[in-house]
Amino acid sequence: MSVVRQGVAHPEELPRSDRTVLVLPASDVLLLQGAWPHLGKLSVSRWKEVLPHLIEESLATPAEWCHFAPSSAKGVDGQWTVAVVDRAWMRHLHRQFFGPGRGALHMVSSAHLQPENTLMHADVSGTDEVVVSWRGSNLAGWGIRMRREDLSVQAGWPGMPSAGLVAQAGGLESWVRTSVPEQAIDLCQYEFFSRAGGGWGQWYAWRHVMALAGLALVVQLAGLNLYWLKLHFQERHLQQAMQQLARTHLPSVPDGVSPLMALRRAMDTHDQQDPFLMRLAALSRLLDKVPGDAVQSLDYQGDVLKVHFKPGFRAEGLKPQVVGLGLRWKAAEPGVWVLEAGRP
């Protein structure tokens, strides 16, 4: 692998990429191992809930402050390996390096880029400190950040086998030049899962919210269509009722003619004192500016025209328009108003 471009830059100045791999110092990633026999019986989605309880006794900070990334499979010794990193630091890195123009994001511990059973150290830029990391077998390892002058003092270091120990000196550049091993634990798991790059990347964390919003929109559109379908059937029912009412009192009305037009024509050609026609003529004037779907049904009995309105319509506002017609407009029951002879 050859280095095409290297240097120091702010995250927003980095070039576009199809894949980004962040190598975290081994001192920032705690690697824990355990048998945990019941872990393999659970689904991967349940591991996020179980892992904090399994290893909280091995942590120096509260479990809710940590992000846990388990290995994809057990090692040859039957143990699982779990990488633990500060959640706030993980969230900061994810926000800086994952977004539009960036491909899939991976984060690995520098210890997992070392050969097995090796001890390595890397300088910390701008300081007199070094990061010492040990890589054992089956993803085991540890990292310590210390002053360079203490590098020769190994007192207090975690245990490591002396057999096969290879002391090497190197840096991040030598690690980056190597390919990331397939068995290395990718820290980008669960809420930091970052396989979807490009413009979708910045929205990946909101995928569940967007799915719920999309589902709500579909339900709303379906409900709106059902409501309009209901109004359509109610309109047809009202039209049929008006047609039937017109045929009952005006048998000569031909099919296909609007009942309101037929009634107005009848008012011009028939006896103006016909009570039914008088009521309908007055009602047509009252409802001249009322929405067409406000009336639910009509009923005419004993010179009294009953008008059934849909719930929510305020028919009392039509009273001032009855003045001068010689008729009375009153409520018979909730939603039902009558138009009859008499003074308003």
Q: How confident is the model at residue 136 (pLDDT cuts 50, 70, 90)?
A: confident
Q: What is the pLDDT of residues 7-34, one digit of tens each?
A: 777 877 777 777 888 889 989 999 998 8
62 vs 45 pLDDT, higher one: 62
Winning range, highest mean pLDDT, from 13-27, 82-96, 169-183: 82-96
pLDDT at 219 over 90: yes
Amino acid at 196: A
Once rounded to an integer, what is the mean pLDDT over residues 164-189?
61
Q: What is the pLDDT of residue 164?
A: 43
Exposure class string for 19-29: b at 16+ Cβ within 10 A, else e: ebbebbbbbbb
- Domain range annotation of the chain: 11-153+161-195, 237-341
Q: Strands across the sheet with 336-341, in order?
A: 295-301, 304-309, 336-341, 327-333
For residue 108, the tally of other CB atoms under 10 A from its CB is 22
Q: What mean pLDDT value characterizes the chain?
A: 77
In this model, does residue 130 exceed pLDDT 80? yes
Confidence band, pLDDT 50/70/90 cuts, at residue 303:
confident
pLDDT at 3 over 50: yes
**For residue 266, what are the CA distances in angstroms to 217, 252, 261, 289?**
49, 10, 9, 22
Helix (H, G, I), strand (E, B) or coil at 77: coil
- Tell me the two tokens of residue 300: 């005419």
CB atoms within 10 A of CB 344: 14
Question: What pLDDT is stored for residue 160 in this prediction?
Answer: 61
pLDDT score of 274: 66
pLDDT (0 to 100) of residue 90: 92
What percentage of the chain exceeds 90 in pLDDT? 13
Predicted confidence band of residue 236 (pLDDT cuts 50, 70, 90): confident
pLDDT digits (tens, 9 = 90+) for 270-290: 555 567 777 777 777 777 777
Q: What is the pTM of this model?
A: 0.52
Identify the three-state secondary structure at position 288.
coil
Each residue's pLDDT tens digit, 243-254 = 777 667 666 666
pLDDT for residue 221 is more than 90:
yes
Percent residues over pLDDT 70 in the chain: 75
pLDDT of 80 strictly over 90: no
pLDDT-based confidence at residue 198 (cuts at 50, 70, 90):
very low
